Amino acid sequence: MIYKAIKKIIGSEYLHTSAVIMQGPRDLALDTLALKSPQAGDVVVEISHSGISTGTEKLFWTGEMPPFPGMGYPLVPGYEAMGEVVEATVDTNLKVGDHVFVPGANCYEDAFGLFGGAARHIVTSSDRVTKLDHSMGPEGALLALAATARHAMAGLQKEVPDLIIGHGVLGRLLARLTIAAGAPAPIVWEIDSTRQLGGEGYQVISPDHDQRRDYKSIYDASGNGKLLNELVSRIAKGGEIVLAGFYTDPLSFAFPPAFMKEARIRIAAEWQKEDMLATRALIENGALSLAGLITHQMPASQASKAYPQAFDDPACLKMMLNWKDVA
């Protein structure tokens, strides 16, 4: 029965899907792509919602993304997607009807899939998806960002932040995870007045109103590498600066102040599977809330409007595309 339903989408050999296609900087539209046929261990997922990243995806939009393995145009953006399994091949631990998070997919015949999550149907290995509770709404697509925040904080010899730079989605998740860990509430810096609201159990202030210079661990979630010298001046001796954003320009800092502080600088990269599973458990047991992080939604058919707004509107923390009415 499911095979017949999928055959209607596949045609004779390939699965076809509606997808957001970025032909080049600021050149984006919804179109149809052929997908590679599912192999053993793969699942076909019908996407209900996909998020727009205002970090890495914005760099593709503006053309500022530095050379990166697997990148190129045309490409399908998106690494925050959730949906329902509509076909499960052999050798998978998933079944039709399961709700899953998908961190994108490289399954397109005629487009790069460095991210690949902004599509109605996706073919991917079952090992890459994470099963979600059926009750989870569009917030399930935020699992990667939450796991990224957890990855920055969790592990041996890692300190939770007492100062976070930036009150976007990542900054808010870092603050929420800090409180969920039972640590003292962090201070969050935010220069945009529209984003200074929404702190839940922690204080959000302008850096101009903060005179402290004894922070033990500062997490930068802004991606602004020009702040590095300022952050060095704000840590206590032996303090740590965690670079949790994505930085396009070479980073530099004045050595003498960092030398005097014996500053430690750490880079937080992509989440790992254990981060995803641990984050899902925190959400399911109520320790971590994803509420209030999705501020805007648009039908996927309006992707050409949604992407510019996601990147240019400070009030837009997270734009979510709704794929339910797209064939």
Q: Could you report the per-residue pLDDT of 18-37, keeping only the tens digit for each? A: 999 999 999 999 999 999 99
- The string of DSSP letters for 260-326 reads HHT-EEEE-----HHHHHHHHHHHHTTSS--TT---EEEEGGGHHHHHHHHHH-TT-S-EEEE-TT-
Q: What percent of the chain has pLDDT over 70?
A: 95
Which CATH number fits the domain that encloses residue 234? Answer: 3.40.50.720
- The per-residue pLDDT for 1 is 36
Q: Which pLDDT belongs to residue 11?
A: 35
What pLDDT, on the 0 to 100 scale, is given for residue 303? 97
Answer yes or no: do 15 and 116 share one domain. yes
Residue 290 contacts by C-beta under 8 Å, 6 or more apart in sequence? Answer: 139, 142, 146, 283
Looking up residue 39, the CATH number of its domain turns out to be 3.90.180.10
> Which is nearest to 275 in space by CA: 101, 92, 54?
101
Residue 5: is its pLDDT beyond 60?
Answer: no
Q: Are residues 165 and 131 in the same domain?
A: no
Q: Are residues 53 and 123 in the same domain?
A: yes
> Do 115 and 187 have their domain in common?
no
216, part of any domain: yes
SS3 318: coil
pLDDT given for residue 307 in this prediction: 97
pLDDT of residue 113: 79
72-91: per-residue pLDDT in tens?
Answer: 899 999 999 999 999 998 88
Identify any residues that bridge with 83 across adjacent strands, giving them in sequence order: 47, 100
- Predicted structure pTM score: 0.91
Average pLDDT over residues 120-142: 95
Mean pLDDT of the region 301-315: 96
Mean pLDDT, the chain, rounded, equals 92
Residue 8, pLDDT score = 39
Is 96:86 a contact under the CB 8 Å cutoff? yes
Question: To the nearest whole percent, how much of the chain has pLDDT over 90?
Answer: 85
Q: pLDDT at position 152, please?
A: 95
- Cα(246)–Cα(59) distance, integer angstroms: 10
> DSSP strand E in 106-192: where?
121-125, 130-132, 163-165, 187-189
34-60 pLDDT per residue, tens: 999 999 999 999 999 999 999 889 999
In 3-state terms, what secondary structure has residue 90? coil
The confidence score (pLDDT) of residue 166 equals: 97
How does residue 327 score in pLDDT terms, banded at 50, 70 and 90? confident
> What pLDDT shows up at residue 2?
40
Same domain flag for 22 and 109: yes
Domain identity same for 114 and 150? no
Q: Which domain holds residue 45?
A: 2-135+295-322
Instruction: Output the CA angle 313-326-82, nearest 5 degrees.
Output: 70
Domains identified in the chain, total number:
2
Specify the pLDDT at position 15: 74
Angle at 145 between CA 199 and CA 127, to 5 degrees: 150
Return the pLDDT at 12.
28
Residue type (1 letter), 106: N
